[in-house]
A and B are shown apart, each in its own frame.
Chain A
Amino acid sequence: MSDVNIGPAVGAEVSSEGPGTPIEVLRVEGLEVAFSRYGKGWSRDRLKVISNLNLTVRSGEIVAVAGSSGSGKSLLAHAVLGILPRNAHTSGRINFMGKALTPARLKKLRGTRIAFVPQSVEYLDPLMRVGRQISPDRQAVLAAFERYRLDPSVAELYPHQLSGGMARRVLVASAVVGDPQLIVADEPTPGMSKELADKAMKHFRDLADAGVAVLLITHDIDLALGYADRVAVFYAGTTVETAPADDFDARERLRHPWSQALWQAIPANGFQPTPGHQPYAGRLPQGCLYAPRCPRKGHDCGHHAPPTVTIRGGEVSCCYAS
């Protein structure tokens, strides 16, 4: 018996096509998210937190979105799931299985074909039993629990009674209850030991191998590299480069100066900091967002946003990409 037995529970639609022929499950194009807020008195202004974000996730792959903690990349997950707060305004295009993901369509798909894996048990109502909370369909819950070798009695526990390992499996199990084609995992490993985090990542890898598309949002690029197929590098509310995970083996294989800076900051690669800091959402620079810190910037970088181009099988938004 394998650790996780992938039965017919995982999308019939996907398995019929087979993991071998990936299809585009999620496509995000030119996404922008802004918050309106009250200023002095009654005035209102908008705070742009995500701009010009492009991303695709295919069936059978894990795409990791890596960026610093709380930089707004969780908002990408929330935008895909349509659970942003009311004062958020989004624009751009999100497609799911080739069709626009309208609010009405999202309402139908959320919780079934599109699933969300949160950070921790803090995302469960402390006053409600785990099983009933995940889904009113007891059979589905028990089946999902069985896949992750959770005892049926766990369904009768309250969130605070779950151990760390149990909590991790419960949260993943909650995602597979609805037979998903896309799983959006938002920082699923914070505060976990290396061992526990590896187990959690293994669950996502297994799901991807069974044909599910996984969007993994994380600040731990080191951990993600071991499991993801592609890594999208997040900077100041946008993705600057989407590269195959293997490209992170060597600095030269990366395309964007910020990805290269990130590469240098990984402990194994010398742990070198880059001077400067990400611009504040309210004070984004004109043109390329990375320009103020970029060692390679040209005189026109400060004027217009760089186009996204494909170089060596990776997408990059930089006029001077190598």
Chain B
Amino acid sequence: MHIEGGSHAHAHAVEHAAGAGAGVGAGELALGPGVGPDAVIGAGRRFALLGNINRRKLAAILTVIILAIILTVSVAGVLLGDKGLTADFSQKALAPSREHPFGTDLLGRDVATRTIKGLALSLFVGVSASAVSAVLAVIVGVCAALGRGWLDHAVNWLIDLTMGIPHTILLILISIAAGRGWRGLLIGVIVTHWTGLARIIRAEVLQLRSQHYIAVAGKLGRSRWWVMTRHILPHLVPQFLVGLILLFPHAIMHESGLTFLGFGMPPEQPAIGIILSEAMRSLSSGMWWLAFFPGLALVILVLLIDKLGECVKLLFNPHSAQE
């Protein structure tokens, strides 16, 4: 919506408007209350409102569409039989065709079927790992912000510790500790992803806590628990949801990366990481479709989820996505 080019005039106007709203300053008095809101912001604000209604409608529609695509992929992953997954040497190493849009691999398996199954697996790991990770982040972030000083220090130290080792290395260590496979993958992705959101939540709670009505509630004799559940947690819902969705692509990329290296999902699963690491071995023979389509599908999935995060953010807070 905005006036293009980051107009500083606009910025000024908003600043002044904020000043006028916060209290009548000496300067405002000089002109008297007869002077209404100024020309530039008046129009800007109305324009913004109009733009946002359209943007919000669009965001809502996009959200539904993306959720539908994600749901379709997940359901298709479950419903698609094992037909495309079993070896069929008569269909070996076929280039993309109408029958096999993504081609077939060296064992004659349909790459498209495997890709959809792989995406469904990725979605499953992504949803579960980022959900647990986000819940963990909220618990840790709230504890750090509301707890005693040492708790805050401990949490910060824990975050530093987690971020002190490169994620890929930490994922490998955890995967080995859990004996590789599913369990290690899930724990690893959960452990490495909570830190960023925890910091955001902590800052948010600290800011909320400093607000008047919360302090008043405390003075009125409300218990900490009451204040937290009534006043603080509800405000964290948007942050939580947006944070959760934004964790998602990271979780998926780390999952597939780890699987690609051989530490994630077991080799019999049609995970994207497995498909790509198998494809790597036959790259020199020119079978480009083995790696190209599954990876591209993953990129598209990640982009869709990014877009979803953006839309949800806009729906919750219309002012956040001006750009």
Task: Find out whether A and B make contact in their complex, taking CB atoms under 8 A apart as touching.
Answer: yes
Which residues of A are in contact with B by a Cβ distance under 8 Å? 35-40, 47, 49, 66-72, 74-75, 78, 84-88, 190-191, 219-223, 236-237, 261-262, 264-267, 271-283
Given A69-B20, A72-B38, A88-B9, 20 more pairs with CB closer than 8 A: A35-B7, A37-B47, A39-B47, A40-B51, A49-B9, A49-B39, A69-B16, A69-B38, A70-B15, A71-B35, A71-B40, A85-B6, A191-B25, A220-B30, A223-B30, A265-B34, A274-B34, A277-B34, A277-B37, A280-B43
Chain A residue contacts of B153, Cβ below 8 A: none
Q: Which residue of B lies closest to A264 (CB)?
A: B32
Give complex CA distance A276, B34 in Å.
Answer: 7
Judging by beta carbons under 8 Å apart, are A35 and B27 in contact? no
Contact residues in A for B54 (Cβ distance below 8 Å): 40
Q: Is there contact, CB below 8 Å, between A278 and B35?
A: yes
Per-residue A-contact encoding for B183-215, CB less than 8 Å = 1, 0 else: 000000000000000000000000000000000
Q: Is the CB of B39 within 8 A of A280?
A: yes
Cα of A277 to Cα of B20 in the assembled complex, Å: 15
B17-71 interface (Cβ within 8 A of A): 17, 19-20, 25-43, 46-47, 50-51, 54
In the complex, the chain B residue whose C-beta lies closest to that of A279 is B39
Shortest C-beta distance, A248 to chain B (Å), equals 12
State whether B5 touches A72 (Cβ < 8 A): no
B296, CB-defined interface residue at 8 Å: no
List 24 interface pairs A-B (beta carbons < 8 Å), by A numbering: A35-B9, A47-B3, A49-B9, A69-B19, A70-B15, A70-B16, A71-B35, A71-B39, A72-B13, A72-B40, A85-B9, A87-B3, A88-B7, A191-B25, A219-B31, A221-B31, A265-B34, A265-B35, A273-B34, A277-B37, A280-B42, A280-B46, A281-B42, A281-B43
Complex CA gap A271/B29 in Å reads 8
B37's nearest neighbour on chain A, judged by CB, is: A277
Residue of B nearest to A284 (CB): B39
Closest to A84 in B: B9
Nearest residue (CB) in B for A237 is B39
A220 and B26 contact, Cβ closer than 8 Å, known pairs A70-B16, A281-B39: yes
In the A-B complex, the 10 residue pairs with the smallest Cβ-Cβ separation, listed nearest first, are: A277-B36, A265-B32, A70-B16, A274-B34, A282-B43, A281-B39, A280-B42, A273-B34, A68-B35, A37-B3
Measured between beta carbons, the chain B residues less than 8 angstroms from A75 are 9
Contacting pair A49 B40 (CB below 8 A): yes
Q: How far is the CA of A276 from the CA of B38 in the complex (A)?
A: 12
Known: A35-B7, A37-B3. A72 touches B30 (CB 8 A): no
Contact of B7 with A38 in the complex, beta carbons under 8 Å: no
**Residue of B whose beta carbon sits closest to that of A75:** B9
Alpha-carbon gap, A266 to B30, bound state (A): 5
Report how far A306 CA is from B245 CA in the complex, Å. Answer: 59
Task: Determine the chain B residues whose CB is within 8 A of the CB of A36 once the complex forms.
Answer: 4
Chain A residues whose CB sits within 8 angstroms of the CB of B31 once the complex forms = 66-69, 219, 221, 262, 265
- If A85-B8, A87-B3, A282-B43 touch, does A70 touch B32 (CB 8 Å cutoff)? no
- Cα(A281)–Cα(B38), bound, Å: 8
B235 within 8 A of A: no
Contact of B9 among A72, A262, A273, A275 (CB under 8 A): A72
Say whether A69 contacts B28, CB under 8 Å.
yes
Whole-angstrom CA separation of A295 from B101 in the bound complex: 77
A278 contacts B7, C-beta separation under 8 Å: no
**Which residue from chain A places its CB closest to the CB of B17 in the assembled complex?**
A70
Q: Tell me the smallest distance from the CB of A222 to a CB of chain B, in Å.
A: 5
Let me know if B43 and A283 touch, CB within 8 A.
yes
* Cα(A59)–Cα(B47), bound, Å: 42
Measured CA separation A290–B27 after assembly (Å): 22
The answer, among A37, A190, A221, for a CB contact under 8 Å with B4, is: A37
* A70-B4 in contact (CB<8A): no
Q: Is the CB of A271 within 8 A of B26?
A: no
Given the known inter-chain contacts A222-B30, A271-B32, A281-B39, please indicate yes or no for A74 contacting B4, CB distance below 8 A: no
Q: Is the CB of B4 within 8 A of A38?
A: yes
- The answer to whether A86 and B43 have CB atoms under 8 Å apart is no
For B6, what are the chain A residues with a Cβ–Cβ distance below 8 Å? 85
- Which residues on B sit within 8 Å (CB–CB) of A282? 42-43, 46-47
What is the CB-to-nearest-CB distance from A83 to chain B, in angstroms, rounded to a whole number?
A: 9
Q: Is the CB of A278 within 8 A of B9?
A: no
Chain A residues within an 8 Å CB radius of B30: 219-223, 265-267
CB-nearest residue of chain A to B55: A40
For A276, the chain B residues whose CB sits under 8 A away are: 34, 36
Shortest C-beta distance, A21 to chain B (Å), equals: 34
List, in ascending order, chain B residues with CB within 8 A of A40's CB: 50-51, 54
